[in-house]
Amino acid sequence: MPNPNALVDGVNSVAPLTESTTAQSTAQGSQYRSVTFQSGRSALLDLAQPRSQVWAEVLEDLRRTNQPVYIEIEPETNLISELLLPIVYRVGEITPTTDGMTVELIISHAIHTLQRSNPDYDELLATLETARDQRTAVIVTETLNEHEIIDVREAPAPFVEADAAPQDIRPEMAPPASVVTMQRARELFALVNARVCCAGNPTAPCIPFTYPDDGCWGRAHEMARLMIGQGVQPEKIWIYGSLNTPTHNHPQCRVLWGWHVAPTLRVNIGGNIQPYVIDPSLFNDPVTTTTWKSVQGDPNASLQPSDADLFHRSKNASWTETDPTYSKTVQVLNTYRNLLKLRSASTVGPPPYETCIPRAPGVQWYGTIAANASHRWFTWGWPAKWHMLWTVMPLTPCPGGPQLSWTVQVERANSTTCTYWITVRNLTAGPVRFEGRYDILSR
């Protein structure tokens, strides 16, 4: 039986609490936001919780875009204790594993699991199997980092996708692919990479490259749109396999995919024309398709090139979709921007994750600092006779303005050692992970 305290619903309003809707003291009313749902139910957000401001923003975005939300409510207080993003999918293959099932959800390139340890395993599996067999849509909610399915429901209107049938309305003749120099390919890479979302505060039209788990088809289509806007016609490359790709941008330092896609450019190097992949979620420069494939952990994976107008392509091309108006692209990007935002506000914080990064010489510590906050760190036992400098460097990309400033103070602990006190200030509206660095100028 589904969690009785869980709700999958549309959002009607997110408003400051004006009257008591629970046993909570109204004297603290300004601390809460009241959230009402399309079913008529309401719940409270406690703004004293740091994550609640982000949850309120996500709820407001879901209300604006008429997307459902999954919440868990504490029955005693009516407070929202969990917020996740359910997504409407079709169900593909369901494959047994040692501890449950892997479930192919369409459209998604992530590996989704249903764990036998889930108390609702049988019921969730039955719902998924029914949706697969009857080709109906379901609303699936999964955990933020492990992609473990925790809730499955039939998708009622208005959340059902308008047309769940395969379609292919591509023009018969796609525009010919452009041939560019490597310098132009790098310029276009920089163009799309400059759209990277600030992880803690991702806002349209940024591209959530630092949420590598899912959504690659939306990122690829948006990158293609940007290149076409520059007068360059790209293509796309699709990879299918049991992909296991290392990344700094997932708390587990890797992502598991069933497929992946990115745009390509035909690059002329000394008269030799070959495709280079533009994929800022994996690389810092254009790379050959061989290099692109080599980091995805499956030597037996298959590559399939296509025109850029293909929005989604199943492994055997039995299911293809286009998005000539980019309306689906906008929705996909919005979904994964919200997931990036939720992850950054969760206990794991914003990407990248320090456990995934080899510590460079001269890095004393890693820190994460909340939006618009200041925090002070101290480090002791340094020889007082050393001449030292302290600096900070954000790890979380957020182009467009300064992110961090810092000041340094020093304490003479005894005749030979000192303690440095470093205050770091986050100048942005989202959390930032950074490294605290030192340099010893003389000893």
Partner 1 sequence: MRTGIQFVGTLAPGATHRWFTWGWSPASHVVWYMMPTSPRPGAPQIDWDVAVERANATQCTYWITVKNLTNTSLTFEGRFAVLS
Residues that bind partner 1 (CB under 8 A): 193-194, 196, 280, 284, 360-362, 389, 391-405, 407, 427, 437, 439, 441
Rounded distance between C-alpha atoms, residue 368 and residue 375, angstroms: 9
The one-letter code for the residue type at 2 is: P
- Report whether 278 contacts 288 (CB < 8 A): no
- CB of 87: closest distance to partner 1 in angstroms? 28
Q: 164 or 388: whose CB is closer to partner 1? A: 388
| Comparison of 258 and 351: residue with beta carbon closer to partner 1 | 351
* CB-nearer residue toward partner 1: 64 or 375: 375
| DSSP-assigned letter for residue 148 | B
Tokens of 27: 């004297």
Q: CB of 169: closest distance to partner 1 in angstroms?
A: 36
Q: Is-contact 33 52, C-beta < 8 A? A: yes
Under 8 Å between Cβ of 391 and 429: no
Q: How far is the CB of 397 from partner 1 (least distance, A)?
A: 5
3-class state of residue 258 by DSSP: strand
What 3-state DSSP class applies to 151?
strand
Which residue's CB is nearer to partner 1, number 234 or number 397? Answer: 397
Find the largest Cα–Cα distance for the chain. 81
**Helix pair 50-65, 327-345: axis angle to 10 deg:** 170
For 246, how many CA atoms within 13 A lie in the half-sphere containing its CB? 6
Q: Of the two residues 179 and 393, which places its CB atom closer to partner 1 in the complex? A: 393
* C-alpha 336 chain-centroid distance: 5
Least spacing, CB of residue 45 vs partner 1, in Å: 30
The helix-helix angle for 216-229 and 327-345 (nearest 10°) equals 120
In the complex with partner 1, the residue whose CB is nearer, 68 or 208, is 208
Q: What is the DSSP letter of 372?
A: T
Cα of first residue to Cα of last residue in the chain, in angstroms, is 67
Close Cβ partners of 156 (under 8 Å, ≥ 6 residues apart): none
C-alpha separations of 208 from 87, 187, 338 in Å: 17, 19, 9
Which CB atom, from 32 or from 420, has the smaller least distance to partner 1? 420
Min CB(390)–partner 1 separation in Å: 10
To the nearest whole angstrom, how small is the minimum distance from the Cβ of residue 258 to partner 1?
Answer: 26
Tokens 């049938």 found at = 165
Q: Is the peptide bond before 158 cis (omega within 30 degrees of 0)?
A: yes
Contacts for 62 with CB less than 8 Å, ≥ 6 apart? 10, 11, 68, 69, 85, 338
Between 313 and 341, CB nearer to partner 1: 341
Count of beta carbons in the 10 Å neighbourhood of residue 393 = 12
Q: How far is the CB of 402 from partner 1 (least distance, A)?
A: 3
Q: Which is nearer to partner 1, 107 or 199 (CB)?
A: 199
282 Cβ contact list (under 8 Å, min separation 6): 212, 245, 247, 262, 292, 295
Minimum CB–partner distance for residue 369 and partner 1 (Å): 13
Residue with Cβ nearer partner 1 (175 or 402): 402
Smallest gap from residue 284 Cβ to partner 1 (A): 5
Q: How far is the CB of 332 from partner 1 (least distance, A)?
A: 22
The smaller minimum CB distance to partner 1, of residues 90 and 343, is found at 343
Shortest Å distance, C-beta 159 to partner 1: 35
